Every structure is written in C-alpha cells, then in structure tokens.
Amino acid sequence: MDLEEAATAFREFVSVIKALRTPGTGCPWDLEQNHLTLRPYLIEEAYEVIDAIDRGEDRAVQEELGDLLLQVVLHAQVAEDRDAFSIREVIQGITEKMVRRHPHVFGSVQVSGSAEVLRNWAQIKAAEEQAAGKPAQPGLLSRVPESMPALLRAEKLGEKAARVHFDRGSIVAILGDVRRELAELEEQLHAESPQQPRTTADELRARLEHGLGDLFFSLCQLARRLGLAAEGSLRASNRRFVERFQRMEQQAPRLLQELDQEELEAEWRNAKKAEQPNPDEDRDS
C-alpha cells in the first residue's frame, strides 16, 4: 500500500465532505444533518458492511466500507462545524490509542498470546481513564452499550463476566444450562394445573418472555464458548430460510397458501434436499 497515495485520496475525500457542508454552496440535505439525524445511517452502513463480508464479495466490502467511511467523516465534519473536534483529532486520537494499547508491538512488553493482549488492553484502558479523571464505572458490565444488538450484547456481557472468572466451567455445563432453560420454558407453557391458580394472559406472556430471554442468553454463551458469533450464526440461518422458502415458492405445484400442512412440509423437505448433495443429511429442521 502506498501511504502517500492513500493520504492524498483521503484529503480529497475530506475536501468533498467539507464542500457538501459549506453554507451557501453546499448540499441542502447535508447542511441539515446533525449527529442525531445521521445516527440511523451509521448503523445501517455498518450492517451493510457485515452483509457484504458474509457474502464474501470483496468489491461489495470495498464499496460498503466507503459508505461507512462517509459516515465517519461526515460526523467529524458536523463536529468541526460547531468547533467541537475535527477529523484530524479523530485520527490522531485513535492512532495514539492503538500505540498505547499495543506495547507488545510498539514497546518492549512481551505477551504469550491473544488472551494476554486482551488483559493488557483492559488494564491500560482502566489506567487511561483513571489518569484522565473519568468517574469510575458503576460496574464491569456497564461498559457494554445497551444500544448493541441483543445477541451481540449477550455475548459481550458473558465475555466481560468471564474476565473475572464468572463463567461456566465447560461447554457441557453451558449445554446443561440450555437444556434447563428450555425445560423451564416448556414448563411455563404447561403450567396450568388444579394445584396452581390460573394466570392471566399478561402474566403468562411475561413468564414466557422471561424464559425465552434466558434461553437466548444461554445460547449466546454457548456460541461464545464455541468461538462462534451468535449474530452471524442467526444471520446465516435467516439466509438459509429465505433461500429454502423461495425454492418452495418456485417449485411448489400450486401457490403455497393453497397447500395443506402436510404438503407444505413435503415441499420444505424437497427444498432442503436441493441444497444437500448427500440425501442422508436431510433433517426435520
């Protein structure tokens, strides 16, 4: 990579964004934007990058990263327009942070592996915040943003707790948690009995929501311990479901809404078989 060419291209890009935000000659839409109005686009563009990565399309990843970079530079320009900070300060800040938090690369610290890198990172970050006089966080988990997607946040919460050794001892133990949460959910579904007072619809809904949430959380911890991403795994499952359903729509002898349940199940099995070279791999899932 030619750093000079990259720097020149970046300067040109920043100049374009500045021109878009110049009163009188800029773009009316861009001039109307602020951090809050741009927030949805930042999230959307990040997800489009992820989608392109999942598809394994390099050109799409390149394009979507450009769209994401646009949001970063646009936010920085909005801030500069109100004399808060500039893109230069954004870049300098992250550059200095990367150097400080990688003393094993830019200093003389020795590490045994990625686990020690993460521990050092957390220690350096805590020391930085203390030196900056930042108020102490109310707890380790308070650092995990509530705005994160729920599956991703569940994994991150488990990861943070594991740093102080609050974690299940093994994958087998986590599987036990999953089975127990599923059993409790089933129990709630069949909770009505002569020995128990009848619950209202709202109470039952609250209990089921509680149980389903606990099941999701345990599944996210299983994904984390397996080295998988729950969010990515579900996205892949969603994609498979769409592909199979569309195959059903294309291959079914009649409109799907005209088929009975048995016919729909048969069409679903046929749609799955079409993507499985080995017929023994067919499953009812």
Q: What is the pLDDT of residues 19-36, one digit of tens each?
A: 999 999 999 999 999 999
Q: How many CB atoms lie within 10 A of CB 198?
A: 9
Q: Are residues 158 and 119 in the same domain?
A: no
Q: Contacts by 178-183 with C-beta closer than 8 Å and gap 24+?
A: 178/215, 178/218, 178/219, 178/222, 181/211, 181/214, 181/215, 181/218, 182/215
What CA–CA distance (Å, rounded) separates 122 from 142? 14
Examine residue 73 and state whether it is found in any structural domain, yes or no: yes
Q: Are residues 8 and 91 in the same domain?
A: yes
Q: Tell which wins on pLDDT, 126 or 6.
A: 6
Examine residue 237 and state whether it is found in any structural domain, yes or no: no
What CA–CA distance (Å, rounded) separates 44 from 40? 6
What CA–CA distance (Å, rounded) separates 72 from 62? 15
Query: CA torsion sign, 216 to 218 to 219 to 220?
Result: positive
Query: Which of 228, 244, 271 is where one domain is finished?
Result: 228
Examine residue 252 and state whether it is found in any structural domain, yes or no: no
pLDDT mean across residues, the chain: 90
Q: Are residues 43 and 95 in the same domain?
A: yes
Q: Are residues 92 and 178 in the same domain?
A: no
Alpha-carbon distances of 112 from 58, 100, 107, 124, 198, rounded to whole Å: 33, 18, 15, 17, 58
Q: Give helix 230-251 / helix 201-226 axis angle, nearest 10°.
A: 110
- Give 114-126 pLDDT, tens digit per residue: 989 988 998 898 8
SS3 227: coil
The CATH number of whichever domain residue 187 belongs to comes to 1.10.287.1080
Give the model's pLDDT for residue 196. Answer: 56
Instruction: Report yes or no: 73 and 14 within 8 Å, Cβ to Cβ.
Output: yes
Instruction: Name 100's Cβ contacts closer than 8 Å, sequence gap at least 6.
Output: 124, 128
For the chain, give the percent of residues with pLDDT over 70: 92
What CA–CA distance (Å, rounded) separates 285 from 277? 17
Backbone region of residue 22 per phi and psi (left: phi > 0; alpha: psi in -120 to 50; beta: other values): beta
In terms of Cα–Cα distance, which of 81, 86, 108, 89 is closest to 19?
A: 81
Burial of 237 from C-beta contacts in 10 A (0-12 / 13-18 / 19+): exposed
Q: Are residues 7 and 88 in the same domain?
A: yes
Q: Are residues 198 and 216 in the same domain?
A: yes
Examine residue 242 and state whether it is found in any structural domain, yes or no: no
Q: Is residue 56 pLDDT above 70, yes or no?
A: yes
Domain that holds residue 131: 109-136
Q: Are residues 55 and 119 in the same domain?
A: no
Q: Are residues 124 and 155 in the same domain?
A: no
- Give 199-242 pLDDT, tens digit per residue: 688 888 899 999 999 999 999 999 999 999 998 899 889 999 99
What is the maximum span of the chain, computed from C-alpha positions, in angstroms?
Answer: 78
Q: For the chain, what is the domain count?
A: 3
Q: Are residues 85 and 14 in the same domain?
A: yes
Instruction: Name 204's Cβ contacts closer than 8 Å, sequence gap at least 6.
Output: 188, 191
- Give 90-120 pLDDT, tens digit per residue: 999 999 999 999 999 999 999 999 989 988 9
Query: CA torsion sign, 142 to 143 to 144 to 145?
Result: positive
